[in-house]
Amino acid sequence: MTRTSREHCGRYDELAQMLVGLQLLVFAHDHVGHGQSEGERMVVSDFHVFVRDALQHVDVMQKDHPGLPVFLLGHSMGGAIAILTAAERPSHFSGMVLISPLVLASPESATTFKVDVYNTDPLICRAGMKVCFGMQLLSAVSRVERALPKLTLPFLLLQGSADRLCDSKGAYLLMESAKSQDKTLKIYEGAYHVLHKELPEVTNSVFHEIKMWVSQRTAAARTGSPP
């Protein structure tokens, strides 16, 4: 699981627990400069550091648990990391789930997710975005656009039509550009950016879609048959 900027992996616990309930091994880490990881807050020398760390984490887990199919799940900036990770090893992963991935950026605006919980979480970075980090995000958008045609793995893409952080047009660009034969897009009309912490009807649907999609693809990955 790769997540967005400012956040830490603990904010994805409910989603992780749902996947654990499917008898899956779920792992995640805080990016450099985020959460409990080392490094200056919201500073990275190159966006590829996030991709490198994701690949290293995958390698460690596969060494300890060989033979298991590996799926990526990414939200927002974590979606960009997941896309670049998959593009770097085209045949390595069995599938990918993307929630509001950073493909095209939009001006930042408030959303309806649980603001009180967000504001009281001590591991979330609330400092203004530094110019150097903003430049790396712009670089990431450019890299993602170039990487899209390299994607051949199955993926599920969930996007809110009212997302003001990651432009929903990016979801359509991803669907058009990726070479994957098994690709699914679900648009949530009127929903914003953090779909897994949205209004209950949205979040419940998001969890259901992920659960069904992952269940079918993990079964297919184990048997070698199409979902």
- For residue 41, pLDDT beyond 70: no
Higher per-residue pLDDT: 134 or 142: 142
20: pLDDT strictly greater than 50: yes
Q: Is the pLDDT of residue 188 over 60?
A: yes
Banded pLDDT at 105 (limits 50, 70, 90): confident
Catalytic residues: 76, 163, 193
Q: For the chain, give every domain's residue range.
A: 9-222
HEC secondary structure over the chain? CECCCCCCHHHHHHHHHHHHCCCCCCCCCCCCCCCCCCCCCCCCCCCHHHHHHHHHHHHHHHHHCCCCCCEEEEECHHHHHHHHHHHHCCCCCCEEEEECCCCCECCCCCCCCCHHHHHCCCCCCCCCCCHHHHHHHHHHHHHHHHHHHHCCCCEEEEEECCCCCECCHHHHHHHHHCCCCCEEEEEECCCCCCHHHCCHHHHHHHHHHHHHHHHHHHHHHHHCCCC
Question: Topology of 9-222 in CATH?
Answer: Rossmann fold (3.40.50)
pLDDT at 130: 56
- The tens digit of pLDDT for each residue in 190-221 reads 999 999 989 999 999 999 999 999 999 998 87
pLDDT digits 0-9 by tens, 137-150: 888 899 999 999 99
